Amino acid sequence: MIYIIFPILALVHLGVLFLGSDIFLVRLISKIIPILYLIALSVGEGRWKTRAGIWLGIGLVFSLGGDTILAFPDKYFVFGLGSFLIAQVGYSVSFSWGNPVHFLRLIPYVIFGASYFYWLLPGIAPALTIPVAVYVSAICVMGWRSAAREVSSRDRWLGILGAISFIISDSIIALGQFTPNKLPFHGVWVMSTYYIAQFLIYLSQEEEE
């Protein structure tokens, strides 16, 4: 059912964004329901019974927190960033549990992260330089850990694609936040890649239960 219910829930919020609804509660509730669904599903499936599943759940819960915080004015941006930072740590630990290190697979993520951060740097306020650098490092580590897993080809590629989608989503947020190059329908692009990321990351651990 996840293959039907989650896309429908995600599309509802994307529709709300596309139509430009100004009703705060509609935007907030439609935004968080897809992640609430994944949290409820993870509990129902008993994922909390494994350590990887527990950390996946932590990632989902703090993603939900970040979604909620970032629905409010920009002055709370750093708190949303902090919540998503914990989510990235959760996903990284979940991907790492029982898997090897594979330092060579870190290289492309380091190159991307360093290059993107350097490009954004002129637009980042001094007070946010370190928090943004830490967050960029965290999403790159999450991407690396998804690529370092010794699991089935299906699960590994779902995890890699999910992590890359998360990196793309966060990169679009940073683009709009720290540069004048905001994409048309910015919110739709952010949330569509974000929902794809959460969906694929969740599916990538189904066979480990």
Q: Answer for the pair 149, 99: CB distance below 8 angstroms, yes or no.
A: yes
Per the domain annotation, does 9 fall within a domain?
A: yes
How far out from the chain centre does Cα 208 lie? Answer: 20
* Cα distances (angstroms) measured from residue 67 to each of 34, 61, 111, 155, 197: 11, 10, 28, 26, 14
Per the domain annotation, does 46 fall within a domain?
A: yes
Percent of the chain with pLDDT over 90: 93
Q: In which domain, by residue range, is 52 found?
A: 1-204
Q: Answer for the pair 96, 148: CB distance below 8 angstroms, yes or no.
A: yes
Return the residue matching tokens 């709009």: 176
Q: What is the tens place of the pLDDT at every residue in 121-133? A: 999 999 999 999 9
Q: Map residue 71 onto helix, strand or coil.
A: coil
* pLDDT score for 208: 58
156 band by pLDDT with thresholds 50, 70 and 90: very high
Per the domain annotation, does 50 fall within a domain?
A: yes
Percent of the chain with pLDDT over 70: 99
In angstroms, what is the C-alpha Rg of the chain? 17
21 band by pLDDT with thresholds 50, 70 and 90: confident
Please list the alpha-helical segments (H only) found in 71-185. 77-96, 107-120, 126-147, 153-178
* pLDDT score for 74: 81
Sequence-distant (6+) residues with CB within 8 A of 70 are: 76, 77, 80
Six-digit token string for 7: 């896309």
* Tally of domains within the chain: 1
The stretch 88-102 carries a mean pLDDT of 97
In the predicted structure, residue 209 carries a pLDDT above the cut 60: no
Distance CA 138, CA 194 (A): 16
Q: Looking at per-residue confidence, does 119 or 75 come out higher?
A: 119
* pLDDT score for 187: 94
Q: What mean pLDDT is reported for the chain?
A: 95
> What would the DSSP string read from start to end of 44-57?
HTTGGGSHHHHHHH
Please state the pTM of the whole predicted model.
Answer: 0.95
**What is the 3-class SS of 13-56, one letter each residue?**
HHHHHHHCCCCHHHHHHHHHHHHHHHHHHHHHCCHHHCHHHHHH
Q: Answer for the pair 88, 139: CB distance below 8 angstroms, yes or no.
A: yes
Sequence-distant (6+) residues with CB within 8 A of 207 are: 151, 152, 154, 155
In the predicted structure, residue 22 carries a pLDDT above the cut 80: yes
Q: What is the tens place of the pLDDT at every residue in 158-167? A: 999 999 999 9
Per the domain annotation, does 209 fall within a domain?
A: no
User: What is the separation, in whole angstroms, between the first and last Cα of the chain?
Assistant: 18
The stretch 20-30 carries a mean pLDDT of 94
207 band by pLDDT with thresholds 50, 70 and 90: low
